[in-house]
Amino acid sequence: MLRIATANVNGIRAAVKRGIGAWLEERQPDILCLQEVRAPDSVLREALGAGWSGVHEECSVKGRSGVAVMSRVPPLAVRSGLGDTAGAEEFAGCGRWVEADFAVPGSPGLLTVVSVYAHKGEAASPKQEEKYRFLDVVRERMAKLAADGRHLLVAGDVNIAHREVDLKNWKGNLTHAGFLPQERAWLDRLLDEDGFVDVHRFLAGEGPGPYTWWSWRGKAFDVDSGWRIDYQFASPSLAALAATAEADRAPSYAERWSDHAPVVVDYDLTVRAE
């Protein structure tokens, strides 16, 4: 069983102070995708401790973004950025996309795991247009990676709730970034046209929720007024091996180590998809 977790840590330093170490010790992920690390590589590796290998891209703007794929077994290869995909140069050094390749036991193929972070955006603004451009490049990159038949997993925070069941107050957010028609249509195309699988939704059923983000402010967490914006998107061959998926919502507000909940999926590599 291969356990892959993705978590927006909202700053690794803060997450360490709030207790991410205890969660890591309890859940024991084999591969860990992180977003909004917001720290130098040395700080990340010290925070995780010994026994982790992987790739981390810092943002060129200090204190912003930052993504990582870390693992218990060293990856075969790692890459930062969106490669030679058209439009990728705009996002070089932005700390939003890293890739790691792993061997698959009993198979000649590869498993490529990606950590992705898309910023929230702002409706009808240049910031939102930048988000759309980034998402377009991401979709192209995913298609390129999946074209050779490898297992592909793209995990992270894309700051989009897909359907009404993916956020509590959907009526009040119809014109807000994160639930705009064009953003939701991007997810439609990724899942319906490109064939990727939203593993958490596939295993958890129709909802509502389970949510993965709640504001620090007010009573959002206490009344479970959240958004589901953290995902594991898998190629069909990998999705067929998914056994369990959970959002690790903290037991209480005081026990949260991020404003996001990790999404943890177990993949049974002893099963072979037909």
- Could you give the residue numbers annotated as active site? 157
Residue reference for tokens 């291969």: 2
Cα 66 from chain centroid? 12
Query: DSSP states of 74-101 as a string?
Result: --SEEEES-TT-TTGGGGTTSS-EEEEE
Given a contact cutoff of 8 angstroms between Cβ atoms, the answer to whether 135 and 104 are in contact is no
Count how many residues are written for the chain. 274
Q: Edge-to-edge, what's the strand order for the sheet holding 110-117?
A: 77-80, 97-103, 110-117, 151-157, 230-234, 197-198
Closest listed residue to residue 108, CA positions, set 71, 144, 76, 73: 76
